[in-house]
């Protein structure tokens, strides 16, 4: 009850991240769009993947998402959400708005907040040497905040307690219990595809068709970037 969620944004990482098995961003963007065709609140934003090089997460949050709301300018590209008057219910684009029923003089009585959604295991990566800059972790949890989804085998509360920095800003880390646990693993799905096994019901049929048509997630693609350091490890 503390927030009203108005939009979800999926931002696929840049190819230059150099993760082993990372297929081209154009494919990942296309598959994400297909997977989200039935969603009325989540969208894909290609900004991060279209940059010349990998962009640190805190910079994606701070810089990728420039908009104007009335006479105000914000630095966040992901804040591109239309406003409309209470009476007309029409966004500045002239199209009907999904926010028309919000009972405010304008859609937002306060500025929208952007938070980073992650799985519980994500918190563990903050302890990986040279993967994150401490000042970046601080800016993410202090300025934006995290919404952390529980995962089997991960204890986000423990990860927070083990970190002085996360403990200091734990008021801005929201732990969400996933009562119906979903242990579908992207890694395991890729392995299944490499071995010619069916992944039906694990991903949308439209995505399965796209994968087959473009012949991606093969033994060859799984070896891509093998032996490379992740870009943040190189930089840090």
Output the furthest CA–CA distance in the chain (Å, rounded): 59
Domain boundaries of the chain, sorted by first residue: 8-70+107-234
CA distance 109 to 146: 22
Nearest C-alpha neighbor of 226 from the set 71, 19, 55:
19
- What helix, strand, coil percent values describe the chain, rounded to 5? 40, 10, 50
37-56, pLDDT tens digit by residue? 999 999 999 999 999 999 99
Cβ neighbours around 69 below 10 Å, total: 18
Q: Could you tell me which residues are beta bridge partners of residue 90?
A: 96
107-120, pLDDT tens digit by residue? 556 778 899 999 98
Q: What is the pLDDT of residue 101?
A: 45
Looking only at the bridges linking them, the beta strands covering 72-74 and 67-69 are antiparallel
Cβ neighbourhood burial of 53 (10 Å; 0-12, 13-18, 19+): exposed
CA distance 88 to 232: 47
Pick the CATH number of 8-70+107-234 from 3.40.50.620, 3.30.460.80, 3.90.25.10, 2.60.40.10: 3.40.50.620
Is the entire prediction scored with pTM above 0.75? Answer: yes
Q: What is the pLDDT of residue 86?
A: 38
Contact assessment for residue 211 and residue 9, using Cβ atoms and an 8 Å cutoff? no
CA distance 159 to 156: 5
Please identify every stretch of the chain with a pLDDT value under 50, giving residue numbers as ranges: 66-77, 79-106
Q: Could you tell me which residues are beta bridge partners of residue 174?
A: 147
């Amino acid at each position: 009850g503390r927030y009203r969620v108005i939009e979800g944004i999926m931002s696929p990482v840049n190819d230059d991240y150099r993760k082993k098995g990372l297929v081209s961003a154009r494919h990942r963007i296309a598959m994400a769009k297909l997977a989200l065709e039935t969603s009325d609140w989540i969208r894909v934003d290609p900004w991060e993947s279209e940059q010349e090089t990998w962009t640190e997460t805190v910079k994606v949050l701070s810089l990728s998402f420039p908009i104007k709301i009335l006479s105000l300018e914000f630095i966040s590209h992901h804040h591109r959400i239309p406003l409309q008057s209470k009476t007309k219910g029409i966004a500045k684009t002239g199209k009907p708005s999904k926010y028309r029923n919000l009972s405010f003089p304008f859609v937002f009585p306060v500025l929208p907040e952007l938070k980073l959604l992650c799985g519980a295991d994500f918190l563990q990566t903050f302890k990986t040497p040279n993967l994150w800059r401490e000042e970046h972790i601080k800016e993410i949890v202090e300025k934006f905040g995290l919404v952390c989804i529980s995962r089997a085998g991960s204890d986000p509360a423990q990860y927070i307690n083990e970190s002085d920095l996360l403990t200091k800003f734990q008021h801005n880390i929201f732990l969400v219990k996933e009562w119906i646990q979903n242990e579908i693993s992207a890694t395991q799905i890729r392995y299944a595809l490499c071995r010619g096994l069916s992944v039906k019901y694990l991903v949308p049929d439209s995505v399965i068709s796209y994968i087959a048509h473009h012949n991606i997630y093969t033994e060859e693609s799984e070896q891509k970037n093998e032996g490379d350091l992740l870009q943040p490890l190189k930089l840090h």
